[in-house]
Amino acid sequence: MKNRVRDTILRRSALIISLILILGAIALLRIITTHKDVEDVAEIDLPLIETLTRIETNQLEQSINFERAVRYANDKNQTSLNEQNFRIADSTFRYLAKVVDEDLIAAEEQVSNAFNLTKQESQKSSLRVLLLYVKKLEVDHTSYENAAFVVLDLLEEGRNEEALILADKVEVDEDQFNKQIEGVLMRHEIFTENLMKEVEREEVISMELVATLTLIFVIFALIAVYTFSYRIWRPLEDIRDGAEKLGAGQFDKKIKLRSNSITEDIVESFNTMADKLQKAQSDIDKFINFSYRTAHDLKAPIKNMKSLLGMLDRDKISSSHYDTVLNNARRSAVKLETTVNALIEFNKIREQLGTKKENLQFDSVLKDAVGNLVVQIKDSNAKIRKDFSACPTLFYPREHLRTILQNLLSNAIKYRDPDKDLLIDIKSTTANGRTILFVRDNGLGFDSIKHGEEMIKPFVRLHTHTEGTGLGMHIINTILTYHKGTLKVESAPKKGAKFTLQLN
């Protein structure tokens, strides 16, 4: 039988574990996603800030070197050192101009890559504006550089007056460009701040989601545990009440099984135990009754023998009377021996009730039974007709079937009608998957309506004109009951008897 309590506990435990795993997986996924968002921010933010900062620094260095070049150019005719300083400032400016150009291109690529990587529309919008500003920086820087190169070339040629006029405009453009770089850095800082706020918002949402799922899970788990406990507790209360009634000897009280009860196997086992206890109590009652009847049946011959033996002890008894008393004592001893042998046979049958079943041929077992009664059958001139065509075989203990057939044949012979030849019909068939055995005789018969239940009790004899123990039918009924079979008797005085035995 399936253990439904165990299976239900395993299913509920698996469900709770699954929910814990799902909750953990969601929390882990959200943590990984948040961590990935932070990495994305760092991947976009740090290189771009580094590049823009480098552009700003180099641009300031450009401005300083441009101013130096203009100042030294005005004084280069005075000393050779000024000439040398002009050359250094000029070459440094040109080198830094190239570096700034390269950094501006790198910045544009970084913003473009960030624009392509991000999936949120708000971030795309910010990056789109930032990209336009970086491209404008490139254009403005190129314009500024070209104007500065013209000034430096004029200074190289010694056309200082023309150069100084253009230098003022270059310095204005230079200041404007530096402000643009600061504006781009500010916009990038705003973008980064917004991006971090978005990441923080996602993190808060993740925590709220995990907290909500945890709360739902706890509520669900509490409900599941309560309902599960209730579904176990109620049947266990019923089992406790049933155990108390069982202890009080109320073996017929069964526990009603609740619909969809997970303790169905426990309740069924308890009810089965109650059935077995009821049967055991019934067997005990039968055994007590059997013991009482046995004692009663043995009491008469023992008392008779005791009385007869007392008579033999008297000196005045005549020889003729002595022989009569002795013969009566012998008959009592034979009766006592017969009863004791019958009791031994009955106890032997009870001990062998658990004998292993085997495939039997009805005809073969009948031959064994007839062989044990061959003298009685011959003396009674009995005729036995058999028909096992409808059901030739049976799965049954051989000794049990032989005992049943032998007792039925023996009873038919004992209680035959002296006015007619004894005829015994034996037939087997099946009905609803069960094996049925019919045994009919044309003997003296009896009133089965009046004595039907009484005849299966131990030591009951409905006819006293012949010797017997009154245990034959009781033995048959004991065997049938053990195999969950039944016995039905139909009989009337002088009309024989018909026995219908459902063997299994």
Q: Kindly tell me if the per-residue pLDDT of 70 is higher than 60.
A: yes
How far is 400 from 403, CA to CA, in rounded Å? 5
pLDDT tens string 12-38: 677 777 777 777 777 667 666 665 655
Average pLDDT, the chain: 77
| Residue 10 confidence (pLDDT) | 67
Higher pLDDT, 303 or 188: 188
Residues 329 and 356 in one domain: no
Split into its structural domains, the chain has a count of: 3
3-state DSSP call for residue 70?
A: helix
| Residue 44 confidence (pLDDT) | 63
The neighbouring-strand residues paired with 387 are: 427
In a domain, 252, yes or no: no
Q: Which of 401, 344, 410, 340 is nearest to 372 (CA)?
A: 410
Residues 334 and 373 in one domain: no
Q: Kindly tell me if the per-residue pLDDT of 213 is higher than 50.
A: yes
pLDDT tens string 100-110: 889 889 888 88
How many residues does the structure list for the chain? 504
CATH number at residue 306: 1.10.287
Q: Using 50, 70 and 90 to split pLDDT, how confident is the model at 172?
A: confident
Q: Kindly tell me if the per-residue pLDDT of 392 is higher than 90.
A: yes
How far is 269 from 276, CA to CA, in rounded Å? 10
| Residue 386 confidence (pLDDT) | 93
Q: Buried (b) or exposed (e) across 253-280, using 16+ Cβ within 10 A?
A: ebbeeeeebbbbbbbeebbeebeeebee
Among 351, 367, 400, where does a domain finish?
351
Q: Which of 46-60, 302-316, 385-399, 473-487 is predicted with the least confidence, judged by mean pLDDT? A: 302-316
Q: Kindly tell me if the per-residue pLDDT of 318 is higher than 60.
A: no
In a domain, 228, yes or no: no
The CA-atom distances, in angstroms, between 188 and each of 53, 164, 379, 498 are 11, 36, 127, 111
Residues 98 and 173 in one domain: yes
Among 179, 202, 222, where does a domain finish?
222
Average pLDDT for residues 77-91, to the nearest whole number? 78
Q: Which of 101, 81, 105 is nearest to 93 (CA)?
A: 101
| Residue 266 confidence (pLDDT) | 63
Higher pLDDT, 230 or 95: 95
Phi, psi (rounded to 5 degrees) for 27: -60, -45
Residues 419 and 491 in one domain: yes
Residues 366 and 307 in one domain: no
Average pLDDT for residues 130-151, to the nearest whole number? 87
Q: Kindly tell me if the per-residue pLDDT of 297 is higher than 60.
A: no
Burial bucket for residue 50 (CB in 10 Å: 0-12, 13-18, 19+): middle
Among 310, 334, 351, where does a domain finish?
351
Residues 305 and 193 in one domain: no
In a domain, 447, yes or no: yes
Q: Kindly tell me if the per-residue pLDDT of 75 is higher than 80.
A: no
Residues 104 and 159 in one domain: yes
Residues 337 and 357 in one domain: no
Amino acid identity for residue 193 in this structure: E
Token reading at 182 = 């600061």
| Residue 234 confidence (pLDDT) | 66
In a domain, 38, yes or no: yes
Q: Kindly tell me if the per-residue pLDDT of 78 is higher than 80.
A: no
Average pLDDT for residues 238-249, to the nearest whole number? 68
pLDDT tens string 411-441: 899 888 888 899 999 999 999 889 999 999 9
Q: Kindly tell me if the per-residue pLDDT of 312 is higher than 70.
A: no
| Residue ranges making up the domain that contains 326 | 279-351
In a domain, 338, yes or no: yes
- Catalogue the E-assigned strands of 308-372: 358-361
Residues 154 and 206 in one domain: yes
| Residue 21 confidence (pLDDT) | 76
In a domain, 484, yes or no: yes
Non-local CB neighbours of 467 within 8 Å, separated by 6+ positions: 335, 338
Q: Using 50, 70 and 90 to split pLDDT, how confident is the model at 384?
A: very high
Residue 420 DSSP one-character state: S
In a domain, 255, yes or no: no
Higher pLDDT, 364 or 41: 364
Q: What is the value of pTM for the model shown?
A: 0.43
| Residue 395 confidence (pLDDT) | 93
| Residue 281 confidence (pLDDT) | 62
Q: Using 50, 70 and 90 to split pLDDT, how confident is the model at 208?
A: confident
Average pLDDT for residues 143-160, to the nearest whole number? 86
Give kind and range of the element (H or E) at residue 103.
helix 80-117
Q: Kindly tell me if the per-residue pLDDT of 406 is higher than 80.
A: yes
The answer to whether the CB of 479 falls within 8 A of the CB of 458 is no
Q: Kindly tell me if the per-residue pLDDT of 225 is higher than 50.
A: yes
Residues 291 and 369 in one domain: no
| Residue 388 confidence (pLDDT) | 94
| Residue 170 confidence (pLDDT) | 84
Token reading at 193 = 């701040």
Q: Using 50, 70 and 90 to split pLDDT, how confident is the model at 115?
A: confident
Q: Using 50, 70 and 90 to split pLDDT, how confident is the model at 1?
A: very low
| Residue 362 confidence (pLDDT) | 94
Residues 87 and 214 in one domain: yes
pLDDT over 90 percentage in the chain: 14
Residues 111 and 140 in one domain: yes
Non-local CB neighbours of 132 within 8 Å, separated by 6+ positions: none
In a domain, 141, yes or no: yes
How far is 375 from 13, CA to CA, in rounded Å? 73
| Residue 366 confidence (pLDDT) | 94
CATH number at residue 412: 3.30.565.10
| Residue 292 confidence (pLDDT) | 47
The strand pair at 423-431 and 383-387 is best described as parallel
